Chains A and B, each alone.
Chain A
Amino acid sequence: MFELVADALPLAVVASTPLLLAVEGELVVQRSGIINLGIEGMMLVSAMTAVLAAQLTKSVAIGFLGGVGGALLVAALFGAFAIAMRADQIVTGTAINLLALGVTSFVYQELQQGAIFVQSVPRMHGDFVLPLAWVVFPIALALVLWNTSFGLRLRACGENPTAVPHVARYRWSALAIEAFLAGLGGAYLSLGLSSGFAENMTAGRGFIALSIVIFGRWKLKGALLGTAIFGLAAALQYALQAASYGLPFHLLLAIPYVVTLLILCGVAGRVRAPESLGVR
């Protein structure tokens, strides 16, 4: 049993990388006082735009750029409603997710004849995203959030927005950072982990990311720990599938979501969210 998990461990680290990127992005945006439920749709769209860009140019690097571009577009739409119009963030996020689901399935069917989604995508040579996600970004984000005046003001927007001039500017910046990270994550999902786009391929990773941000108490150390715990549970799931102990496949598929619920409920004691999180 233990060996099974150990064998699946490297795969687990790779497989939870898009999730980690999403967690880091959502952490930044929530620190600025915004809950972006639309991160699920953001990743889904970037998974698709990454494949489109990679196929059109036959370049993985441009594919990743395309992923980030797609995420930025979704972020612009979310920000226009949630920041500029001060709309309810949960309603806006839900609408963004429906929009992403509808648009990607529409475009997917429209372009099916063009074979763009049928041919396999260009392969990645060397995994540059993995060290970025697990080492470079956490350190960089921690430095920016806790050691610069920009970071201080960004966090102040989440605690007491009336104390900060130009709140919208900081929230837009946070949203752009999130889009960059979630875009990389979405692109990694379709170009790195799988060899193309599939409808609704994010399968709730964005919502799992939101839960891990809460579990990690809006800190990067907690985010890494939460993603690691989740990754281990996922590894266990792969190991159980491979070992086929006769456990039903469909119940194993539910494990990540059950684990996420347990992670959410495992937040011992009172969690202190950013004071003005979700306040319009």
Chain B
Amino acid sequence: MKRLLIAAAAACVALLLLALSALAFGHDPRELLAILVRGSVGSPFAIAGTLLKSVPLLLTGLSVAIAFRAGVWNIGGEGQFIAGALAGLLGARYGVIVSLLAAMLAGAAWASLATAMRLWRNAPEVLTTILLNFIAIHLLGWCVNGPLQERAAQYPQTDAAAATLPALGSVHFGVVLALAASIGSWWLLYRTAEGLRLRATGLNPSAARWAGIRVSAQLARAMAVSGAAAGLAGGIELLGVTHRLFERFAAGYGYAGIAVALLAQLHPLAVVASALFFGALTTGAGELQRTAGISSGVATLGQAVVILVLIGVDYVRTRR
């Protein structure tokens, strides 16, 4: 309950700071907050938009939560998201299920590149995962301009994927999948031996080693599961929302996952609420861009402020 209050306070402070920075540039903060609310939850259309944005955020948030719980610094959600979407596109001709499985596998494989470099060459995953993000972005750029470009060869984008997620009212079936992934992650972390080992490794790797846990293998599995979640996010975004790939497909979902997971205090079920908050913020920021000409970068700003406020609150609490 206390942690819920902290998270809610952090979210409010973030919104307040956004309003203040808008004020500094001569906007009316009340008007902007009104647009933000109207654009995210003000109409059935806006709510559907928020839900659609929340799905990839929920999955990249789970990806980060699992990795951070295990003590692995997976900052590579962005790259794994793209790898998943690319594999999803290729697998789509065999149907939705194959496509999403391919997306998860590709995300896991892309993340595991970092594990391999960690185990064989002692290269820190916090850097290799980030570098792999840039490589994935340029790989995608090459694909949509080259081998995977649409047959009409007019725009730098692919043809529409051969499969589509079933619709669910004005949203898609990915909403159900994301919720299932959240419950599944909770089950994995808190109700299985694997989850216990994973959390033990994250809390104290040397103690875990003494307790007979094979720490390297544990980290490798955590990284793979984390990558699979980000890859699934990419696959669902492709089959449910964009249907095509283009250069700016990832749109920061991978990095946003870090804020989502931290606001949820790395708890898989709380990630749902956290993803909805950031989904609303992103959707509202899009409306700000359209109607008030304010950069949708304020959503990124909001993510940063939430993380920093959480750190601050944590500091004040532990000092007492």
Contact = CB atoms under 8 A, between A and B. Distances in A.
B151 to A, nearest CB: 19
Given A106-B21, A257-B131, A95 B308 contact: yes
Nearest to A94: B258
B117 interface: yes
A248 B117 CA distance: 27
Interface in A95-123: 95-99, 101-106, 108-110
Given A37-B126, A207-B131, A250 B142 contact: yes
Contacts of A249: 145
Nearest to B126: A90
Contacts of A261: 117, 123, 128, 131-132, 135
A86 B311 CA distance: 9
B311 A254 contact: no
Interface residues of B, number: 46
A98 B304 contact: yes
B138 A110 contact: no
A106 B301 contact: yes
A36 to B, nearest CB: 12
B300 A98 contact: yes
Interface stretch (A9-17, A169-177, A264-272): A264-272
A81 interface: yes
Contacts of A98: 255, 258-259, 300-301, 303-304, 307
Interface residues of A, number: 48
B42 interface: no
A211 interface: yes
Given A91-B262, A98-B259, A105-B297, A257 B134 contact: yes
Report the 4 A-B pairs with minimum CB-CB distance, sorted nearest first: A102-B301, A105-B297, A99-B304, A102-B300
Interface of A: 37, 77, 81, 85-88, 90-92, 94-99, 101-106, 108-110, 203-204, 207-208, 210-211, 214, 248-251, 253-254, 257-258, 260-261, 264-267, 270-271
24 contacts: A77-B308, A81-B308, A87-B311, A91-B262, A95-B259, A95-B311, A98-B303, A98-B304, A102-B297, A102-B304, A103-B301, A108-B295, A110-B294, A203-B134, A248-B146, A249-B145, A254-B138, A257-B132, A257-B135, A264-B117, A264-B121, A264-B128, A265-B117, A267-B121
